[in-house]
Structure 1
Amino acid sequence: MADKISVLISEKDVEQRIQELADQITKEYAGKEVHLICVLKGSIFFTCELAKKIPLPVTFDFMSVSSYGNQTESSGRVRIIKDLDEPIDGKDVIVIEDIIDSGRTLSYLMDMLSARKPASLKLCTLLDKPDRRVTDVKVDYVGFEIPDKFVVGYGLDYVQKYRNLPYIGVVEQ
C-alpha cells in the first residue's frame, strides 16, 4: 500500500530559499574558500543545490551519522558511521544538514568538529523543527522552520523511500 504524501513546501519555494541561503553565504564568505560538510544521506540533495549557487571556491567532505536507524524517532544515541576524509583545521566550515529535530545529533557533531580547530564553524539546515529541540544547538542558516510533522522529500526519507521527491512532503498516516 502506497503512503499518502501531502506537499508542505513546494519545489519552487525550496529552490528560491536555497538561492537566498547561497546569497547570504556568498556575502558572508566573500573572498574566502568555503568547506562544506554534507551530513549523509539526507542532506546530499540540499548540499549539491546549495553549492551550485555559491560562486566562491567550495570544497566538500562527507560524514554519516545515525541516531534514527529505521525509526521515525531518534534513539538519542549518536553513532559516527563515516568520518571526514580530510582534516578541517584552519578551514571555514559549514555543516550542511537536512533537518534539525531534537538537536542531539547536531550538538554532538558540532562539538566534535569544533575540537578539530576549523577557522570558523557554522551550521546550515534546510529544515528546522524548534518545537522538538531538547538540546541547545546554534543554527546559523535555516531554510524553513516547520511544524512537528514527519517529512520526506528533497533528501529526507521514510525507510529509505521518498528522498527523490523535489518538494518537502508530509507522510499522512
Structure 2
Amino acid sequence: MSTQLPHEKGFHISWDQIHRDSRALAWRLDRRGPGEDGAWKAVVAITRGGMAPAMIIARELDIRTVDTVSIKSYDHQTQSEPVVLSKPDPDMVGDGTGVLVIDDLVDSGKTLEVVRRMLPQAHFATVYAKPKGEPMVDTFITGVSQDTWIFFPWDMALQYVKPYSGKDD
C-alpha cells in the first residue's frame, strides 16, 4: 500500500462550482436568522478562504454588513495551531447573535473553535466540511473525506494535465 501525499487525493473546485455551492449555502440559510423575519444582520468571513463564499452569500441574502476575522492556520498544506491576526468590529458583531460566520471549508474544526469563542451566538456555515470539523459547523453543503485535499480555484492556475493513461496521442 502506497502512502499518498495530501495533494494526491485531490478534489478540484472550479470558480463555477464554488459559486454554485455558495449559492446553495445561501439558499439553505435564507430566512433562518434569529429575527422575526429570519434575516441575518451581518456576515463575517474567515479570511482568506471564506471571502469568496461570504461575498456570494451576502449578495444572495442582501446582507450589506460584511466584516472579516483573519486567522492563519495553514502554511501551504501543513495545518498548525490557529493564530488570530485580526478580529471583526465588536460593536457590529457583539456576541454573534444574527451573524453568519462563513468559511470555505471546515477541516479539523480548530479555526472555527477559535472564532466560536469570539462569537458564541453566531451561526457557522461552510461550503465544504470534513468529518473532524463537522461538529463545529451549523450548516454546510458538501461533505468530503478527511484525507482529501481540496484545491480551490484561487489556489490554482490553468495548465495542461496528462491523461491518467499517461498517453498523449
TM-score by length of 2: 0.71
CA drift of 1:5 comes to 10
SS in 1 for 2:27: helix
Overall identity of the aligned pairs, in %: 23
Would the aligned equivalents of 1:107 and 1:137 in 2 still touch at CA under 8 Å?
Answer: no
Would the aligned equivalents of 2:128 and 2:142 in 1 still touch at CA under 8 Å?
Answer: yes
Q: Summarize deviations over 1:69-113 as a string: whole Å, max 9, x none.
A: 23x1312x2211111134312641111011111111211221222
The alignment's C-alpha RMSD in Å is 2.9
**Is the alpha carbon distance of 1:79 and 1:20 closer, same or farther for their aligned partners in structure 2, counting shifts above 3 Å?**
same
Letter in 1 for 2:56: E
Would the aligned equivalents of 1:107 and 1:136 in 2 still touch at CA under 8 Å?
Answer: no
CA drift of 1:129 comes to 1.0
Would the aligned equivalents of 2:109 and 2:136 in 1 still touch at CA under 8 Å?
Answer: no
Q: Which runs of 5+ in 1 are unaligned?
A: 115-119, 166-173
1:21 aligns with 2:25: yes
* Residues in 2 aligned to 1:92 and 1:154: alpha-carbon distance in whole angstroms: 30
CA drift of 1:151 comes to 1.5
Would the aligned equivalents of 1:97 and 1:124 in 2 still touch at CA under 8 Å?
Answer: yes
Q: Which residue of 1 aligns with 2:55?
A: 48
Q: Summarize deviations over 1:139-159 as a string: whole Å, max 9, x none.
A: 12212111222112244x3xx
Q: Which residue of 2 aligns with 1:80?
A: 84
* Residues in 2 aligned to 1:7 and 1:104: alpha-carbon distance in whole angstroms: 21
Would the aligned equivalents of 1:39 and 1:64 in 2 still touch at CA under 8 Å?
Answer: yes
In proportion to residue count, which structure has more helix? Answer: 2
1:108 aligns with 2:147: no
Question: Which of 75, 98, 101 does residue 104 from structure 2 map onto?
Answer: 98
Q: Which runs of 5+ in 2 are unaligned?
A: 1-6, 159-169
* Larger radius of gyration between Structure 1 and Structure 2: 2
**Is the alpha carbon distance of 1:33 and 1:50 closer, same or farther for their aligned partners in structure 2, counting shifts above 3 Å?**
closer
Would the aligned equivalents of 1:124 and 1:142 in 2 still touch at CA under 8 Å?
Answer: yes
Letter in 1 for 2:144: I
**Is the alpha carbon distance of 1:121 and 1:82 closer, same or farther for their aligned partners in structure 2, counting shifts above 3 Å?**
same
CA drift of 1:10 comes to 5.4
CA drift of 1:64 comes to 0.7
* Residues in 2 aligned to 1:144 and 1:9: alpha-carbon distance in whole angstroms: 12
Would the aligned equivalents of 2:58 and 2:66 in 1 still touch at CA under 8 Å?
Answer: no
* Residues in 1 aligned to 2:10 and 2:72: alpha-carbon distance in whole angstroms: 26
* Residues in 2 aligned to 1:124 and 1:58: alpha-carbon distance in whole angstroms: 18
**Is the alpha carbon distance of 1:136 and 1:12 closer, same or farther for their aligned partners in structure 2, counting shifts above 3 Å?**
closer
Letter in 2 for 1:51: A
**Is the alpha carbon distance of 1:128 and 1:7 closer, same or farther for their aligned partners in structure 2, counting shifts above 3 Å?**
closer
Count of aligned positions: 146
**Is the alpha carbon distance of 1:96 and 1:154 closer, same or farther for their aligned partners in structure 2, counting shifts above 3 Å?**
farther
